[in-house]
A and B are shown apart, each in its own frame.
Chain A
């Protein structure tokens, strides 16, 4: 692996991070409403709001507030949640693992569902099997996430009692059990995206000249499948997974609400509604770094799998 390349890519995260910092800060302060009125609501007298704003430093000019914020971040401190009165870093460390767990789980389930079905559809292309697989996932893709979540919860959780209704559990095996339905919800969505692309890339490989050549050489079809077809399928999968990380984070918001999972998705929504500036800023920066790292990992894996991909 080219370590200089990796270092360069890591360094590129810094300007991105700065840009995100500016944009997020400006955006959250541009939305109408302020955290103090949001939380005090009807009982907020002008005096109380003014005093609370003073205490929170929200009465200072925006430029000064931004300077303080940057200074904080440079010291590895993301400030304190206005509504929850705890350090933002602690909130994120508490909840990010939960969201990552669900997302990785969903990615695994999505791949496990998508790869064999996509290959099957490709091999049996233009038969009824192919049509069925594509139709089912097409429907899956067009259903809203919250609807799928609720249906799974009602059917597999409440009706059949196979899975607990929401929650998170405490041990690893409990996590796997409790988070199966939310991961399945996101995984189905991901699989629907994957199947379509994978099927096409497998067909492309199957009809490629070098596969004919391999067959002519007398290679068994299982070898061809694994060596050529799946390798290419994997490249497409990794790229797609990388591209859909944003979708997974977005999907987390809905699944975490429906399944009562204490992750960062729900935290973000609550923070936005409550105008909890430090939490919104801290989470966005975290997401930015995460997404950058996922993109980098995607590129590296892609390069490893596909020698033609240039690292530049």
Chain B
């Protein structure tokens, strides 16, 4: 009798353990997006609306790890970097197929990479600038570099190197690559875990599981677990949340940070805050003269530092992000690879701010103006809070509200004094944000006009430095110089707020923003 009970208990325990380990297959997930995708081509797209879901349709040779900081094998099961850092040899997995069942060949890989690095194609070519040639034989892909490039491995895990079917693409109607891309992207056949089955622009998009996807789930069968992933486009935040609360959605992105606490308290909802690479800062015009010829107090480093010291970040984070942010310590996010943990950013120190302003000759304060996107509640709250904080040291902030496109036109013409901005990395490497924020380059350090000879030199070195320790040291120095020079106002980092039904498991949004649905399941 006793033995029987024990056996029964053991059996029950095993069964429940089995359930705990098991994953439910099938079903549909409806996910609310704030806006629809524009163009589902991995190479020619420009917007996060595309980038953040593209890897569900097109797999890459390598993939970012779930924490977004390193890479893991993708369509290639292994990769080897040569000693001189100038050759990468990748081995393709056996029997990999596109979503229509046709084999993925090394020729498709070569063609996809060559297309992605063609200088005529799109905004992402620079990520592959170091590639001299791509050679293939059998299931081996050899990427030859012009010079060692530490960011090339992460680049092979970035959306723009998604592998596409050469034959199907070329069979699409159109006279040239751009036209064929438009036709192909209407109903793409890719190599990712899902395949597009229906798309009513501006309304919904239906993705079906790709039965030929190579990756295996916990049950040793191929991923994804979901049969159907349906994106519904719901532009209004309140409506998206109402639909989530009513159970009409199983997930919803871009929950306003002001509503996070309320959804956290809802027992049916798992209010997830995924770590991101998003940094919010204020870019300052560092030039001696403004566009209209007037003198610019922000060209004095002491003024820029003073303004940084006069920002009460904890208060700002409460006000604007409702406690869902953390102070920026470096110009790059703490989720960006090679972020230097010893960076301090700026503390709140009014006395220091006042003495710096006095030393710069502005004991009685000065006037500055900031560009803010109209209609953005966050931008409004931020600018108003800064106005208050800087008012305490005599700096009078004028808020100029413009729509995004007008504001972009203004700062691209260097016609601004300050502008609020948020940035997210696209590649798991610090070079992208650094080339934009800190290096003169084509966009004059985010149009600030800031330039520093040591940073320029270090950046060039770091772009070819394959020794990880040395490269980390270079980046540490870049971050320190940048903070001291203070071309920007350091604000905060914010997570990606995604509301999920409690029974949805295995969804991830990595710090680069990619929405990963391959392991998502419905566990009711």
Contacts and interface: CB of A to CB of B under 8 A. Distances in A.
A267 B202 contact: yes
A98 to B, nearest CB: 9
A42 B436 contact: yes
B238 interface: yes
A257 B202 CA distance: 11
The size bracket of the interface on A is: 35 or more
8 contacts: A33-B405, A33-B409, A40-B123, A43-B123, A45-B442, A48-B123, A260-B203, A266-B202
A161 interface: yes
Given A164-B248, A260-B234, A260-B236, A84 B38 contact: yes
A262 B200 contact: yes
Contacts of B239: 153, 165-166, 258-260
B442 A34 contact: no
A290 interface: no
A44 B242 contact: no
A84 B46 CA distance: 11
B246 interface: yes
Contacts of B76: none
Given A37-B405, A44-B412, A166 B201 contact: no
Contacts of B77: none
Interface in B189-246: 200-203, 232-236, 238-239, 242-243, 245-246
A83 B38 contact: yes
Contacts of A37: 405, 408-409, 412
Given A39-B46, A43-B123, A260-B235, A158 B405 contact: no
- Give chain B's interface secondary structure class: mixed
Interface string A190-228: 000000000000000000000000000000000000000
A167 B406 CA distance: 32
Given A32-B405, A33-B406, A165-B243, 5 more contacts: A31-B406, A34-B405, A42-B423, A165-B239, A262-B202
Interface of A: 31-35, 37-49, 51, 55, 83-86, 91, 94-95, 150, 153-154, 157-158, 161, 164-168, 257-260, 262, 266-267, 270, 273-275
B39 interface: yes
A273 to B, nearest CB: 6
Nearest to A272: B403
Interface string B108-124: 00000000000010010
B133 interface: no
B25 interface: no
Nearest to B423: A42
A53 to B, nearest CB: 13
A158 B232 contact: no
Nearest to B122: A48
Contacts of B404: 33, 38, 41, 273
B208 to A, nearest CB: 18
A161 B185 CA distance: 38
Residue picked from B120, B185, B407, B443, most chain A C-beta under 10 Å: B443
B410 interface: yes
Nearest to A34: B409
Interface in B27-61: 35, 38-39, 46-47
A165 B252 CA distance: 14
B216 to A, nearest CB: 36
Given A32-B410, A37-B409, A42-B421, A95 B202 contact: yes
A86 B178 CA distance: 12
Contacts of B412: 37, 44, 49
Interface string B413-430: 000000001010000000
A262 B201 contact: yes
B328 interface: no
A86 B186 CA distance: 9
A166 B243 contact: yes
B446 interface: yes
B182 interface: yes
B436 A43 contact: yes
A265 to B, nearest CB: 11
Contact of A257 (B201, B236, B242, B406): B236
A158 B409 contact: no
A257 B235 contact: yes
Given A33-B409, A95-B202, A260-B234, A39 B243 contact: no
A94 B201 contact: yes
A152 to B, nearest CB: 11
Residue picked from B202, B245, B407, B436, most chain A C-beta under 10 Å: B202
Nearest to A94: B201
Nearest to B441: A45
Contacts of A91: 201
